Amino acid sequence: MLVSFFKPNQPAPLIAGLPIVALLLWIPGFLKYPLPVSFDNTMPLYDAMVYLTSGVPYFSNIVSLLLVFLQALLLNSIVNKNEMLSPKTNLPALMYILVMSSITELQIMHPVIFANLFVLFAIKRTSTVYLQKTVFSQMFDAGALIAIASFFYFPAIVFFLFIWGSLIITRTFIWREYIIALVGVAVPYVFLSTYYYLWTGDLLGLVQEKFTSELNPANIVLPQLISTHYALVICLLVLLGLSILTMFKVMANSVLRIQYLLKTLVVLLFTGLVAILFDNSRNLQTIALAAIPFAVFTGNYFLHAKRRWLAECILLCLLGFIIFNFFV
């Protein structure tokens, strides 16, 4: 079964099993969306990607699927390298693939897929700050990576709070680290603003077109669900709740460094949920903003499940709800 197959930290599940799972789950997306789908209030780097892939059937699907697969591998590498879960496992990669494939609207070249890649790189940089003497370069890099993520999907800018949250949890207060992280976010925006000003001469138009609507408080709402999504969302929320409870139990028996890292993932989950509120599309695909911590927490739940048969049943139920949503 899936839990037993992906539980060991072996290369075979990642090399052979994970691509098969991802490809099978993405078949509905290939059939339904052979060409890129347009979105409102998109950001410059995403617009560039759409331009490069438009007109070529299935190319955008292939790019998105490869990105999701690579992100799953990167997430799994970060988790195992930092020993966030013990023993090491491939389950976070599996859970990331499942949640990023859970609805067909995510099986397209959605801007959040690109944003998640840079959020993962930011997590990789912040995961190394514990007990280091200076972390100026890590903070600048993490801030810049979050800014680049927002160039694809603007609500991702909220993940800057994750950087500061990581500093609060893992280090004593050094005000320069917070400022450098902020500078890291600002520098890419300075370059973007300069480019728009020199190219179009209308910097105010950029602000009004790309940022104002996203920051409008009137747009802060929960995603609107269709009837067939409720079962899937309830299943995801119940699984997340069980996983968080398990995570806190594991955290209590972990060394201090691991406790800090897991607490930063809680901050990441919170910021992801906040970012969902700023997506004015109001669609369910915004759950991808919380996919990274969700994958780690649920991976830990299945890793430590005492009743293997129950864990397998829960995962099969989740997979069943995902498949059900594809065909209704």
Q: Read out DSSP for 279-325?
A: -TT--GGGGGGGHHHHHHHHHHHHHH-S-HHHHHHHHHHHHHHHHHH
| Blockwise average pLDDT, block size 10, the chain, 328 residues | 86 87 90 73 81 79 92 95 90 94 86 94 90 88 95 90 92 91 93 77 59 56 66 88 90 84 91 78 76 94 88 90 82
In a domain, 166, yes or no: no
Q: What pLDDT does residue 250 have?
A: 85
CA–CA separation, 207 vs 210, rounded Å? 6
DSSP-based helix, strand, coil % in the chain, nearest 5: 75, 0, 25
Q: What pLDDT does residue 221 have?
A: 57
**In the 8-state DSSP scheme, what is residue 17?**
I
In a domain, 142, yes or no: no
Residue-number span of the structural domain to which 247 is assigned: 2-127+220-326
Q: What pLDDT does residue 326 have?
A: 79
Contact 122, 40 (CB under 8 A): no
By C-alpha distance, which of 248, 245, 274 is closest to 263? 248
Q: Mutual orientation of helices 230-252 and 291-304 as an angle, nearest 10°?
A: 60
The tokens for 161 are 């709070």
In a domain, 41, yes or no: yes
In a domain, 182, yes or no: no
In a domain, 204, yes or no: no
Q: What pLDDT does residue 2 have?
A: 84
CA–CA separation, 77 vs 75, rounded Å? 5
Contact 210, 41 (CB under 8 A): yes
CA–CA separation, 191 vs 202, rounded Å? 15
CA–CA separation, 1 vs 8, rounded Å? 13
Quote the number of domains for the chain: 1
Q: Is the dihedral of CA 98, 270, 238, 297 positive or negative?
A: positive
In a domain, 308, yes or no: yes
Would the pTM of this model clear 0.85, i.e. be above it? yes
CA–CA separation, 299 vs 247, rounded Å? 10
In a domain, 189, yes or no: no
In a domain, 33, yes or no: yes
